[in-house]
């Protein structure tokens, strides 16, 4: 019987000690950009915004995310509007932006205010070309 008690105590101690690291873990939020949160350069204007019907709000903590045109490298795809819940208190939806610059459109996708946009390779290359042409008195259109 004494052997069973020691075995039980040893098992409980082992389980308790191995679960301590899991209980001691601290939640750390890392701001890693999500896929699709890249700034791109489009070669043509986005189509007109689509008119959307907002369905019934599923709950008080949901926010309406307006639909937008997303540049995928060779054209525009429509991302329909939806009800969504932000992952943190005080977070707001930032609408997609399309800034006309010369012959191009700089596209910033819609995202939550706590998400970080990153510059895509095509955007960085376009910026570098634009700046190098500015120094030579050339317009980015005239190669």
Cα(143)–Cα(126) distance, rounded to whole angstroms?
Answer: 13
Q: Output the pLDDT for position 40.
A: 95
Q: Output the pLDDT for position 29.
A: 39
pLDDT along the chain (143 residues), means of 10: 44 43 41 67 95 94 93 91 92 94 94 93 91 64 47
Q: Output the pLDDT for position 130.
A: 83
Provide the whole-model pTM: 0.66
116: closest CA among 36, 55, 12, 23? 36
């Amino acid at each position: 019987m004494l052997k069973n008690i020691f075995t039980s105590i040893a098992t409980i101690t082992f389980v308790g000690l191995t679960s301590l690291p899991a209980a001691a873990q601290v939640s750390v939020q890392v701001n890693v950009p999500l896929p699709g949160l890249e700034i791109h350069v489009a070669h043509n204007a986005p189509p007109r915004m689509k008119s959307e019907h907002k369905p019934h709000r599923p709950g008080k903590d949901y926010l309406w995310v307006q639909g937008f045109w997303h540049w995928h490298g060779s054209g525009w795809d429509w991302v329909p509007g939806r009800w969504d819940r932000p992952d943190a208190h005080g977070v707001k939806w930032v609408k997609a932006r399309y800034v006309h610059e010369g012959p191009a459109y700089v596209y910033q996708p819609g995202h939550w205010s706590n998400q970080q946009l990153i510059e895509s390779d095509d955007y960085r290359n376009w910026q570098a070309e634009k700046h190098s042409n500015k120094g030579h008195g050339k317009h980015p259109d005239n190669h």
